[in-house]
Amino acid sequence: MQPDTNKVIQKLLQENATLTLVKAQLESLVEQYQEKEREESKKAEEK
């Protein structure tokens, strides 16, 4: 029996939305760490 195409598409769209959200969260986290690193290296240079 072939799965319902609409259900498959719905599932894939949902999965894509979830992955897009996770990707954005991870990119934001990386940005925060990079910013923190820049600030700390700036403080180290000032000493």
- Taking only the tens place, the pLDDT of each residue in 1-47 is 778 999 999 999 999 999 999 999 999 999 999 999 999 999 998 87
Name the DSSP letter for residue 2. P
pTM exceeds cut of 0.95: no
d(Cα 9, Cα 15) in Å, to the nearest integer?
10
